[in-house]
Amino acid sequence: MNFTAALIAEFLKGSVEGNPEATVSDISKIEEGKPGTLSFLANPKYEKFIYDTQSSIVIVNADFQPQKKISATLVRVKNAYESFAALLRLYDQSKPKKSGVSKMAVISDTASLGKDLYVGEFTVVSENVSIGDGVQLYPQVYVGDHVKIGEGTILHPGVKVYEGCKIGAHCVIHAGAIIGGDGFGFAPNQDNNYEKVPQVGKVIIEDHVEVGANTTVDRATIGATILRKGVKLDNLIMIGHNVEIDENTVIAAQSGISGSTKVGKNCMFGGQVGLIGHINIASGVKIAAQSGISKDIKEEGIVIQGSPAFEFGPYQRSYLLFRNLPKLREQINELERKVEQLKQ
C-alpha cells in the first residue's frame, strides 16, 4: 500500500516540507534509506545521515534546522519518535492476522473460547480455561487449568502459562516466557536438607502488559504475583514470587527482582538491575544499568546507580575518584617515602 507525504502529515497532524505527493510503501532506517521508503530523525547523532539518505520521506521534529540541502520530503511533527512509533503501530495493525483453530491443537471440552481466535499447532488449552475474543495462541503454547486470558491478548510460540493464572486484555507475551512457575521457596530442615515450600498462589497480569522472550514470572507462595496495567518487561527477566510491579513501570533485559519486593508506578530500570527481596521502591524511580538495590527507596523520582546503589550525581562524582585509586595509592606511597626520608 502506498502513502503520500500529505496523507502521513494529516494522520500525524504535522506539516509537509517538500513534495506533498512523494510516495512511500515501506520503512527503513535513515542511514539505510532507499527510494520509496519512510524514515525518521529524532536523535541528533543521526543528523548526518539525513543529508545523503535515499528515503523519499523523513519524519523530523518541528524545530529541526537543517545545515545542508535535503533531497527527501520532510514531515515536521511535534515529536518525531512518537509519530514514527504511531505509524509503525498502524503498519503492524494493517498486516493480516492469523485466525482459526488448528486441528493439531488440543483443547479441553470444558474450556470457554471467545470469537475470532487463533490457536496454532500443538497448542494445549487445559480444563476450565477462559479465553476472550480475538486472542492469538501461537504454536506450542501451553495454557494450564483454570487460566483466564482477556480479549486481544497474544501468546507467542512456546509460552507456558501455569494453572490458575490470569492475563488481562491486549497483553503480549513473547516466545518462551513462563508465567506462573513455582517461586523459589525451600526451607532447611534438621538434617541440613532443603524441603520445598509448596507455591499455591498465582500470577495476575493486568491489561496492556508486555512480557519479553524467555522472561519468567513466578507464582506467589500465597496470594499473587502482580504485574499492573501497562507494565513492560524486556527479554530474560526474572520476577520472583509475590512481587508486585505497579502501573507503567518498564524494566530492561536481564534484570531480576527477588521475592515479595514491591515496585511503584512509572519506574524505569536499566539492564541487569538486581533487587533483593522484601523491599519497596517508590514511584518514578530510575535505576541505571547493572545497579544493585539492597534497601527501600522511599524518595519518588530519584535516579540512582551503583552496587550498592545511591544517587546518580554523587555516584558519578565518586566514580571519578575510585577509578583513580591506583594512581592515588602510588602518590600516597611516594609521600610516605618522602616523609620517612625527612624524619631520618
The pLDDT tens digits of the residues spanning 244-272 come to 999 999 999 999 999 999 999 999 999 99
**How far is Cα 70 from Cα 126, in angstroms, rounded to an integer?**
58
Find, among 301, 321, 305, the residue nearest to 313 by Cα. Answer: 305
Superfamily for the 3-94 domain: MurE/MurF, N-terminal domain (3.40.1390.10)
Helix axes 5-12, 80-94, angle to 10 degrees: 110
Three-class SS of residue 37?
Answer: strand
Query: How do residues 81-130 score in pLDDT, each as one tens digit?
Result: 999 999 988 878 777 888 999 999 999 999 999 999 999 999 999 999 99
Q: Is 208 known to be catalytic?
A: no
Scan for cell 495476575, then name that residue. 204
Q: Is the predicted pLDDT of residue 183 greater than 80, yes or no?
A: yes
Residue with the bigger pLDDT between 187 and 140: it is: 140
- The arrangement of secondary structure in 100-316, i.e. its CATH architecture, is 3 Solenoid (2.160)
User: Domain residues of the chain, as ranges?
Assistant: 3-94, 100-316
Q: What is the pLDDT of residues 55-80, one digit of tens each?
A: 999 999 999 999 999 999 999 999 99
Give the tens place of pLDDT for each residue, 317-326: 777 777 778 8
CB neighbourhood size of 245 (10 A):
27
Q: Is 340 helix (H, G, I), strand (E, B) or coil?
A: helix
- Total count of residues recorded for the chain: 344
Statement: residue 311 has pLDDT above 90: no
Separation of alpha carbons 60 and 47, rounded Å: 10
Q: Which amino acid, residue 269?
A: F
Average pLDDT, the chain: 94
Would you say 40 and 83 are in contact if contact means Cβ atoms under 8 Å apart? yes
The catalytic residue among 146, 174, 241, 278 is: 241
Residue 224: all three cell numbers together: 499473587
What is the structure's pLDDT at 253?
98
The answer to whether 60 touches 39, Cβ cutoff 8 Å, is no
284-288 average pLDDT score:
96
Give me the pLDDT at residue 310, please: 66
CA distance 167 to 173: 10
- Residue owning grid cell 523530523: 60
Alpha carbons within 13 A on the beta-carbon side of 256: 9
Nearest CA to 236 out of 323, 288, 304, 177 is that of 177
Which pLDDT value is given to residue 189? 86
Ramachandran angles phi, psi of 98, nearest 5°: -70, 150
Which phi and psi (to 5°) does residue 204 adopt? -120, 120
- Residue 111, pLDDT score: 98
> Facing residues of 23 across strands?
4
Query: Which cell numbers hold the place of 342?
Result: 625527612
Averaged pLDDT for residues 17-38:
95
Task: Assess contact for 295 and 278: CB atoms under 8 A.
Answer: no
Q: d(Cα 274, Cα 8) in Å, to the nearest integer?
A: 42
